[in-house]
């Protein structure tokens, strides 16, 4: 029997096929162009028609005409989006292929790309979207038996060929057939590359464990605890792209919300979803959320300011306040306090309005009717009912004075009405009034912001963000149980929460996956130990600071991290200056000079100022290529080809907070890491 012919078996055939596909893609682009031209002509004619016939049109005609214009514009937008996708595909149509045979069916190659593409006339799928059910074969299996889930059941079969391609600017740079663990060669190449000014997509090299997270459809809350550089942020964004594809009937980009640590990070990741063909996703920081939810009378310290204060001075009382308010027990106590006030702060008495007496039992019964309404909202409702009662009993309309008497009288039955007073009272009830620093100006410490919001949510009820159907929270270790309790009440939707306890910027308020699980007991927790960002040498070096025996660095080598002792600060500056020059001469894209505090970063910027050297502060909004001077806190989540950590001395890095910063700074480096210090080296590295 003759061997069945494998389509596009040889490299030559693949090259020819690529040319064919590119031609078809360009033809499709032309068709879209023609269609767009036609749309715009029709649109112009329609507008012209309306303009000329305006006087003879009634309201209904106008509405109909407006709607048809909107429809056309919408179709026009869709055409533009389609063109963008086609042009992108023409640059790199696919990155993978599998030949999959199911019993009784002929093998057909499945080409996998960033977007799908089909032959419009033959209605045949030529390229499959990486998120299509069949594409999961590419990530989950090698040659041999394989299966993939579809909405209508699992499909079993045999993978006979698995191939990877690197196609850039429409040219096939290489192709690789796989037998065993295929991804590694291509993955190695990807990781060895120089950094970008924006986070990149990883569709061509998603690993099996990562794929499982990306394609998980069931989890209502997914917690990803992964070591530095394990691809948490990348996976979370690809997961969003997957969910947008899988549930496109019910979820759109506007239904997703990303809670991000700062604007620079938001800018850094902003490319990924558009690169994957999805729209920009709404994003907001915790502080923005807080400002939205807090009463406008309050102002508050930011998280960055809190951490800066911890870095600048050792203040045990401040630390105790933060630590206390970050515990799970604190949340339980807030909950107990809420029960306590509900049970003991309401003292219902009879109420006199003119000659009418409203019996206490009646008021009590009204309060009971509204027991599901948030506590502070009940008074208004009970007052309204009492007004109706008095009106009926007295047989007359109520005066403004009567109404006010009733409103005040009902309010007074509850011991405290006002949120700041209740929050103060909570600490008195605890027997720890010293744990609250809040004066009449109502400027809150950061640690009080979310407890207060939590109280407000529970006592007043807030409905907001109801459009959000999936919430993504990055840097989960930086948020406390109370913050999670707020998020949980505010966002009843599905969630993806990710972070790394080793990268905490404030050890007194950090949450581990286990803490978060207590708030979300239904969560699926995934732990990732493979680290992709840094060379083995850099990962091993960072292990001295915060050891994690489970970390698995990817087999990629580079120069040993360098510890450069200097005679004094001037020599440190000189060393760094030379490194900047060397960096600017080489072909790398980004060099991070990562300091402990903002003050140090500002000083470094003053001293090292040169073209292409930028300072990144908590006010910055965008990530820039070149030489970036910043703090570890702000560099979190970012990565650089090379990193320099100045002032790695025992004097500068000595506390637990400092240690966290040093770990974050070192783990930002992809290929090269240098630390300079004068005097004694920090104990975190000398041990
Ligand atoms: N499967 C993959 N293929 C190619 N590159 C990958 C893959 N997974 C991760 N990476 C790369 O590893 C680097 C780290 O990824 P990412 O920033 O998502 O990790 P992280 O876990 O969020 O890191 P950190 O917590 O340290 O900020 C990025 O450059 C990313 O592109």
Ligand 1 centroid – CA 667 distance (Å): 11
**Residue in 656, 653, 647 with CA at minimum distance from that of residue 683:** 653
Nearest-angstrom CA–CA distance, 25 and 87: 8
Question: ipTM value of the model?
Answer: 0.98
Distance from residue 228's CA to the centre of ligand 1 (Å)? 8
Nearest protein CA to atom 16 of ligand 1, as residue:
231
Take atom 23 of ligand 1 and give the residue whose Cα is closest.
Answer: 229
Residue identifier of the C-alpha nearest atom 18 of ligand 1: 231
Residues in the chain: 687
The angle subtended at Cα 631 by Cα 309 and Cα 496, nearest 5°, is: 90
**Residue 230 labeled ligand binder:** yes
Do the Cβ atoms of 314 and 655 come closer than 8 Å? Answer: yes
| In the predicted structure, residue 169 carries a pLDDT above the cut 50 | yes
Q: Looking at residues 510-523, what average pLDDT do you find?
A: 84
| Segment 585-604, tens digit of pLDDT | 777 789 999 999 999 999 99
Question: Best mutation site among 231, 272, 499, 633 for ligand 1, i.e. most ligand atoms within 8 A of its Cβ?
Answer: 231
- Concatenate the DSSP letters of all residues of 319-375 into one string: HHHHHHHTSHHHHHHHHHHHHHHHHHSB----EEETTEEE-HHHHHHHHHHTTTS-H
Contact 443, 299 (CB under 8 A): yes
Tell whether residue 204 is among the known ligand binding residues: no
Whole-number Å distance, alpha carbon 201 to ligand 1 midpoint, is 10
Q: How many C-beta atoms lie closer than 10 Å to residue 249's C-beta?
A: 6
Q: Does residue 181 have a pLDDT over 60?
A: no
Span 235-244, pLDDT tens digits: 999 999 999 9
What residues flank ligand 1, with Cβ below 6 Å?
187, 190-191, 200, 202, 205-207, 210, 226, 228-234, 500, 503, 532-533, 637, 639, 667
pLDDT tens-place string over residues 23-65: 999 999 998 888 878 877 777 777 777 777 777 777 777 777 6
Model confidence at 300: pLDDT above 90: yes
Residue 277 annotated in ligand binding = no
Alpha-carbon torsion 104, 108, 110, 115, what sign? negative
Test site for ligand 1: of 186, 533, 664, most ligand atoms within 8 A of the Cβ: 533
When pLDDT is cut at 50, 70 and 90, the band that residue 679 belongs to is very high
Please name which of 295, 294, 267, 290 lies closest in space to residue 280, comparing C-alpha atoms.
267
- With cut-offs at 50, 70 and 90, classify the pLDDT of residue 4: low
pLDDT of residue 73: 65
Mean pLDDT, rounded, for 555-571: 94
- Substitution site in 130, 211, 234, 237 for ligand 1 pocket (most atoms within 8 Å of beta carbon): 234
Q: Can you give the pLDDT at residue 72?
A: 65
Nearest atom in ligand 1 to 638's CA: 27
Q: What's the mean per-residue pLDDT of the chain?
A: 90
Find the mean pLDDT for residues 352-364: 92
Q: What does DSSP assign to residue 4?
A: P
Residue 474 CB-density burial (10 A; 0-12 exposed, 13-18 middle, 19+ buried): buried
What digits encode the pLDDT tens for the residues 390-442?
999 988 899 999 999 999 999 999 999 888 999 999 999 999 999 999 888 88
To 10 degrees, what angle do helices 446-460 and 481-490 make? 40
As a whole number, mean pLDDT of residues 4-25 equals 88
């Amino acid at each position: 029997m003759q061997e069945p012919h494998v389509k596009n078996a040889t490299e030559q055939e693949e090259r020819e096929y690529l040319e064919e596909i590119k031609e078809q893609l360009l033809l499709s682009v032309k068709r879209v162009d023609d269609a767009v031209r036609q749309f715009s002509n029709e649109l112009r004619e329609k507008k012209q028609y309306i303009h000329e016939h305006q006087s003879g049109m009634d309201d209904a005609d106008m509405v109909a005409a407006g709607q048809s214009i909107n429809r056309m514009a919408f179709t026009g937008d869709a055409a533009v989006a389609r063109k963008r996708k086609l042009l992108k595909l023409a640059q790199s149509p696919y990155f993978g292929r599998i030949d999959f045979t199911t019993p009784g069916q002929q093998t057909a190659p499945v080409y996998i790309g960033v977007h799908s593409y089909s032959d419009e006339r033959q209605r045949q799928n030529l390229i499959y979207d990486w998120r299509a059910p069949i594409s999961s074969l590419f990530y989950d299996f090698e040659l041999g038996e394989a299966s993939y889930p579809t909405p209508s059941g699992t499909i079993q079969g045999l993978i006979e060929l698995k191939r990877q391609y690197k196609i850039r600017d429409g040219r096939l740079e290489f192709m690789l057939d796989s037998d065993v663990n295929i991804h590694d060669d291509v993955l190695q190449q990807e990781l060895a590359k120089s950094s970008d000014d924006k986070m990149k997509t990883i569709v061509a090299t998603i690993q099996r464990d990562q794929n499982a997270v990306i394609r998980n459809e069931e989890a209502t809350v997914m917690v990803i605890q992964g070591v530095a550089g394990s691809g948490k942020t990348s996976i979370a964004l690809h997961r969003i792209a997957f969910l947008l594809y899988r549930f496109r009937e019910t979820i759109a980009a506007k239904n997703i919300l990303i809670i991000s640590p700062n604007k620079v990070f938001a800018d850094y990741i902003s490319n990924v979803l558009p690169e994957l063909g999805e729209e920009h996703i709404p994003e907001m920081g915790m502080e923005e959320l807080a400002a939205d939810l807090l009463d406008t009378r309050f102002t508050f310290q930011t998280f960055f300011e809190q951490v800066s204060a911890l870095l600048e001075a050792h203040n045990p009382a401040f630390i105790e306040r933060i630590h206390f308010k970050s515990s799970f027990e604190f949340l339980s106590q807030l909950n107990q306090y809420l029960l306590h006030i509900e049970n003991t702060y309401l003292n219902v008495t009879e109420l006199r309005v003119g000659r009418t007496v409203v019996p206490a039992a009646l008021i009590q019964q009204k309060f009971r009717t509204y027991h599901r309404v948030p506590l502070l909202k009940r008074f208004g409702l009970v007052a309204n009912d009492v007004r109706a009662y008095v009106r009926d009993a007295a047989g007359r309309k109520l005066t403004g004075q009567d109404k006010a008497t009733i409103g005040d009288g009902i309010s007074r039955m509850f011991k405290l009405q006002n949120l700041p007073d209740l929050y103060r009272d909570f600490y008195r009830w605890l027997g720890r009034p010293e744990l609250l620093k809040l004066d009449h100006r109502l400027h809150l410490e950061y640690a009080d912001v979310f407890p207060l919001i939590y109280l407000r949510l529970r006592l007043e009820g807030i409905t907001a963000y109801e459009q959000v159907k999936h919430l993504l929270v990055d840097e989960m270790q930086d948020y406390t149980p109370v913050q999670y309790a707020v998020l949980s009440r505010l966002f009843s939707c599905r969630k993806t929460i990710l972070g790394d306890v080793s990268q905490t910027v404030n050890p007194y308020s950090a949450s581990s996956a286990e803490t978060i699980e207590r708030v979300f007991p239904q969560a699926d927790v995934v732990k990732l130990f493979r680290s992709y960002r840094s060379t083995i040498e850099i990962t091993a070096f960072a292990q001295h600071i915060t050891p994690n025996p489970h970390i698995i660095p990817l087999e990629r080598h580079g120069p040993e991290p360098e510890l450069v002792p200097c005679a004094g600060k001037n020599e440190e500056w000189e060393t760094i200056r030379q490194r900047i020059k060397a960096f600017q001469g080489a072909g790398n894209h980004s060099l991070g000079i990562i300091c402990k505090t903002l003050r140090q970063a500002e000083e470094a910027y003053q001293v090292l100022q040169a073209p292409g050297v930028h300072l990144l502060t908590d006010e910055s909004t965008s990530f820039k290529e070149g030489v970036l001077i910043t703090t570890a806190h702000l560099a979190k989540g970012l990565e650089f080809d090379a990193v320099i950590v100045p002032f790695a001395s025992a004097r500068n890095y000595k506390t637990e907070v400092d240690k966290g910063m040093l770990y974050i700074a070192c783990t930002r480096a992809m290929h090269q890491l240098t630390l300079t210090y004068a005097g004694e080296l920090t104990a975190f590295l000398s041990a």
